[in-house]
Structure 1
Amino acid sequence: MSPFIISMRTAAVSGVITFFLGIVAAKLVISMKNDYWKMTIDGILTLPMVLPPTVAGFFLLYIFGVQGPVGSFFLEYFSWKIAFSWSATVLAAIVISFPLMYRSARGALEQVDKNYRYAAQTLGLSESYIFFKIQLPLATPGILSGGILSFARGLGEFGATAMIASNIAGKTRTLPLSIYSAVAAGRMEDAYQEVAIIVLFSFVVVVAMNLITIKSNKKGMKRKKS
């Protein structure tokens, strides 16, 4: 049960952090007026989604490793070793799943009819009020889908986790790493069980996203009729 517990803890913590970071990043990028900077920042935030996970893990290890600029700082001043710890599994999951949340949140916010925002501005409402009370509720289905998808991605992360957190039993060995270890050791029965768990969770994620999409479409139809 250790890999399952570690995976669920990692996916839950990284999912919550990624959820809010993705919304904030999407809002900031949408608010940018300079198209050049918007394109550049968007490319940087989306980069982990197209990079091989091992390459992303290499950069994480370079930055947060014991000899890295950030890793050495935390180790020297806070006695906190990030690499090869459970924190590293969370960090890897955040970096790899963040682009999914960011892209989903941005797409959902950009699809909100701008006339709602313009009407609210004519009433003298603040930008923060418009965002939290108008734009965010209307974009909720897309944002929730992104949150579910990023949670599932964090649960299944392998490459970056192996690079920065290694495969330490009872500490950083998540379900994907445990499956790899079981297959490498010839323990196929254990691998079958763990694969079944991952497949089941992935199926639940797909069903949850479909339900959110169906509910969103129904609300959209009702809104158009009214």
Structure 2
Amino acid sequence: MSVLAIFGLLLLILPIAGLFSRVDWAEFPAAITSPDALEALWLSLRTATAATVVCLVLGVPLALLIARSGPRLAGVLRALTTLPLVLPPLVGGIALLYLLGRNGLIGGSLAVGLGIRIPFTTSAVVIAQSFVALPFLVITLEATLRATGARFETVAATLGASRWTVFWRITLPLAMPGLVAGTVLCFARALGEFGATALFAGNAAGVTRTMPLAIYTAFNGAGVTQESAIALSVLLVVVAIVILLFMRSWRADAPR
């Protein structure tokens, strides 16, 4: 078993080691600070932050609804919420396109009635990132809410506290470790999103070309140089490591 475990660990570590081995560390600072690389980095940070805000606004109520529902309803809602996790990202992009595209279920009405065009814009990037990242927030927070239970909320309500008071003073503080962990995972997933963004938002420099798309474009002979693509890949790995370390530190310091 130990041998198999070691091979499993190597399967996870060696590809990252191979990536780091290709980095020209002397050129690394220049590669990640080139105009195209900085443009992609800044766009990724802005859209991932916006997507995280969207997920917080929509995901916290959804997680609370699932956690406080009965077993059958909670099971259905949880399955629907986790669907984007098991769908191929490209399928998610196609689904968004047929929902909000010019000939889509809603997009046609938006384009004709209000003159709003969503696909292939920066807003489309945020929507695609929100679609794939929302389950990470909801499932993490829902597990925490279910573990803390509703007994303190019930006591507060019987003492005359309003729903908002119960939420802000009881529910949210108790669920804070799960909320922080879910938010961090949500941001990390949004930052690394590629497939749905490529189909639904396109790959326009400065508009929809996030870091993953800039990396893909470079390795297909356009956009940033291959050195910048490798540097951006390493930068994404470092960001992911920092996020995981932050989550571990938060969970270690969280009250139990």
TM more than 0.5: yes
Secondary structure at the counterpart of residue 161 of structure 2: coil
Moved over 4 A (4+): none
C-alpha distance in structure 2 between counterparts of 1:112 and 1:17, whole Å: 25
C-alpha distance in structure 2 between counterparts of 1:24 and 1:75, whole Å: 30
C-alpha distance in structure 1 between counterparts of 2:161 and 2:204, whole Å: 53
- Who is 1:25 aligned against? 62
Secondary structure at the counterpart of residue 185 of structure 1: coil
CA drift at 1:149: 0.7
Opposite residue 25 of structure 1, the aligned amino acid is L
Note if 1:83 corresponds to 2:119.
Answer: yes
Check whether the contact 2:215–2:232 (CA below 8 A) recurs between aligned residues. yes
C-alpha distance in structure 2 between counterparts of 1:199 and 1:175, whole Å: 12
C-alpha distance in structure 1 between counterparts of 2:127 and 2:103, whole Å: 17
Percent identity of the aligned residues? Answer: 35
C-alpha distance in structure 1 between counterparts of 2:65 and 2:218, whole Å: 43
C-alpha distance in structure 2 between counterparts of 1:122 and 1:75, whole Å: 49
C-alpha distance in structure 1 between counterparts of 2:59 and 2:97, whole Å: 23
- Who is 1:173 aligned against? 209
C-alpha distance in structure 2 between counterparts of 1:41 and 1:113, whole Å: 18
Note if 1:129 corresponds to 2:169.
Answer: no
C-alpha distance in structure 1 between counterparts of 2:129 and 2:143, whole Å: 22
C-alpha distance in structure 2 between counterparts of 1:36 and 1:203, whole Å: 37
Unaligned runs of 5+ in 2: 1-37
From the superposition, tell whether residues 197 and 7 of structure 1 become closer, same or farther in structure 2 (CA, over 3 Å). Answer: same
Judge which range, 110-119 or 160-169, deviates more: 110-119
- Who is 2:238 aligned against? 200
- Who is 1:223 aligned against? none
CA drift at 1:113: 4.4
TM-score (norm 2): 0.80
Q: Where in structure 2 are the equivalents of 1:52-63 lying within 5 Å?
A: 52-63=88-99
- Who is 1:224 aligned against? none
* CA displacement 1:99-136 (0-9 Å, x = unmatched): 00000111111111443234334434344432321121
- Who is 1:42 aligned against? 78
CA drift at 1:206: 0.8
Secondary structure at the counterpart of residue 82 of structure 1: coil
C-alpha distance in structure 1 between counterparts of 2:248 and 2:67, whole Å: 26
CA drift at 1:78: 2.1
CA RMSD of aligned residues (A): 1.6
CA drift at 1:54: 0.8
Q: Where in structure 2 are the equivalents of 1:44-193 lying within 5 Å?
A: 44-185=80-221, 187-193=225-231
C-alpha distance in structure 2 between counterparts of 1:210 and 1:201, whole Å: 14
Secondary structure at the counterpart of residue 184 of structure 1: coil
C-alpha distance in structure 2 between counterparts of 1:121 and 1:66, whole Å: 48
Note if 1:7 corresponds to 2:44.
Answer: yes
CA drift at 1:137: 0.3
Aligned residues: 217
Check whether the contact 2:50–2:126 (CA below 8 A) recurs between aligned residues. yes
Unaligned runs of 5+ in 1: 221-226
